[in-house]
Amino acid sequence: MTFAALFVPAPLPDDRDGDALAAALLALAPHVALGEEDEQGRLYWLDARGLPARRLAASAVDVARTLGCQDARGGVARSAVVAGIAARHGRATVTTVRRGAEGRYLAPHALSVLAHAPGWSPKLAAALADVGVDTLGDLATLGADAVEVRFGGEGAALRRLARGEDARRIFSPLRRPLPDASLEWLDYEVRDAARLLFVANSLLERVCEELRSWGEAARSMTLRLPLAGGGAVERRVRGARATADRATWIRLLRAELERLALPDGARGIALRVDSVHELDTPQGDLFDHGFQSAAAAESTIARLADDEMGVAVRLASSAHPLPERRLRWRALEFREVTAAVRGAGVPDGRPGPSVDGPATPPAARATLALRLLPAPRPVVVTTARRRGDAMPVRYRERLADGARAPRGLPLVEIHAAAGPDRVRAGDEDGVPVSREYWTCLTDEALVLLFRNGRTEEEWYLQGWWD
């Protein structure tokens, strides 16, 4: 990158309405940045990318002199620090430092010319002067290791600037415009959006070819249809995964066009890529049968997601106090589905990442699994007072009002009960829940009963362990 700088010495022209010089420089360069300003003057940076830098700097000097800055000077170099010093301390109208000659140009200058450079400090300059380093050439000839050991990271950074090595980017990199394609007509109108699929296919060929040439894939596109009466209809088309495959995008566009009702006749069609990603090309083993079929599996899952026929989910565990809310089905992003297909996902049967809190660590998992009923089942519990609490001693299923108990209705005896574990939750969503849980040992299983903390008469069977 070539840097062009303009230095305007003090006194600066009176400008009450703003920086008129910067506004005038914008007519020459697409971007202008204001550099350091002190009692000596003001420095401007001009974006010379794609422009003749020396001619741009000369034109900037002419504009500055037209506005009354007669002593304005320009500097051009491949390094930002060199271009700034050439503009500030050069004797010519425009000082150009050729590539490779930065060190020779900077060598005779005193260290003070770097006073506006990043990393400069008077304390460091005094320390360098104490060992006889007075010019940039003296500092540049010192060894990098010796400077870093003696003067630290600041000294090493200043040495690089003295050699003309400056990694600064005054202007951010220009973003490449994303691929787009369009076609318009004036002699007729199209009122059935589905008839535009043939034209969309042709435009997609150009868009996908440009994506592949850059090694990229599109995640979403915008379909725009200009209308004959003015305005346009825009629809965003998004795929389950980033791809540059034309067959995938034409399938998505067909589905969008078939359900699109136009309020007026269309006189054109345009496609614009909204976001791109790098092509995903993982390294794998060709002799691994799972890797060989991964691409086909990914394409199948992506097609199901694109057609809204299904979504991949996984159980996610949490630390929620209520058992029925500790596990939830979480919709997976396509990258997670891809990782699982390629064998890098979570093994089957193991909970995924946490939703409401950290998952139970593997070392703390019990050997018994809690099996929850689809909904807590009401039960009738007989209790006995133990240590001030009503401990369950037996239970049976609760019947509906008016129903008679059938002969042989099981009455489950409880041999031992641990509890109560009092739990309160739901305050965050405005539906507070208060429960008392009892873990009960019966002849058949280890069951989990709970009592509603607000109405002590209501008991429920939550599930059992096996």
Residue by residue, DSSP assigns 302-347 as: HHHHHTTS---EEEEE---SSGGGSEEEEEPPHHHHHHHHTT-SPP
The structure's pTM equals: 0.47
The pLDDT, as a whole number, for residue 357 is: 43
Q: Look at residues 253, 278, 303 and tell me which one is the last residue of a structural domain.
A: 278
8 A C-beta contact, residue 3 and residue 45: yes
> How many CB atoms lie under 10 A from the CB of residue 67?
14
Residue 305 lies inside a defined structural domain of this protein? no
In the chain, the amino acid numbered 71 is: D
The answer to whether position 283 is within a domain reads: no
Give the pLDDT confidence score for residue 354 in this predicted structure: 42
Same domain, 21 and 146: yes
CA dihedral over 282, 287, 291, 292, signed as positive or negative: positive
- How many C-beta atoms lie closer than 10 Å to residue 388's C-beta? 6
Q: What does the alpha-carbon distance between residue 132 and residue 139 come to, in Å, rounded to a whole number?
A: 9
| Domain assignment present for 449 | yes
pLDDT at position 352 is 46
Dihedral-angle region of residue 270 (phi above 0 means left; psi in -120 to 50 means alpha; beta otherwise): beta
Boundaries of domain holding 116: 3-162
Say how many C-beta atoms besides its own lie within 10 A of residue 118's C-beta: 13
Q: Indicate if 336 and 451 belong to the same structural domain.
A: no
Residue entry with tokens 């083993």: 285
Question: How far does Cα 313 stand from its chain's mean position?
Answer: 22
Residue pLDDT tens, the chain, 466 long: 788 999 998 876 665 444 788 888 888 988 888 888 888 888 999 988 888 999 999 999 999 888 888 889 999 998 888 998 999 888 889 999 998 888 899 999 998 888 887 778 888 888 888 888 888 888 888 888 888 888 888 888 888 888 888 888 888 776 778 899 999 988 888 888 888 989 999 999 999 999 888 888 888 999 999 998 888 999 999 887 788 888 888 988 988 898 888 888 899 999 999 988 776 656 666 666 666 566 666 676 676 666 666 677 777 777 777 777 777 777 777 667 767 666 654 444 444 444 444 444 444 445 778 888 888 888 888 888 887 788 888 888 766 555 554 554 568 888 889 888 888 887 666 677 888 898 999 888 889 999 886 666 788 888 888 8
Contact 136, 107 (CB under 8 A): yes
C-alpha 127/C-alpha 120 separation (Å) is: 12
Residue 171 lies in a domain: no
Distance of CA 103 to the CA centre of its chain: 41
Name the domain count of the chain: 4
Q: Is residue 57 part of a domain?
A: yes
CA distance 121 to 61: 31
Residue 122 and residue 217 in one domain = no
Give dist(CA 237, CA 252) in Å, integer.
Answer: 7
pLDDT of res. 295: 67
CA distances from 389 to 211, 275, 421, 451, 456 (A): 71, 62, 11, 12, 11
Nearest to 251 by CA among 298, 302, 192, 213: 302
Reply yes or no: is the peptide bond before residue 420 cis, omega within 30 of 0: yes
- Which tokens go with 127? 């320390």
Residue 286 maps to a domain: no
* 200 and 243 housed in the same domain: yes
- Asked if 194 and 145 sit in the same domain, the reply is no
Cβ(159)–Cβ(127) below 8 Å: no
Return the pLDDT at 61: 92
The pLDDT of residue 79 is: 87
Question: Whose CA is closest to 214, among 182, 252, 175, 185?
Answer: 175
H or E element at residue 258: helix 246-258
Same domain, 56 and 126: yes
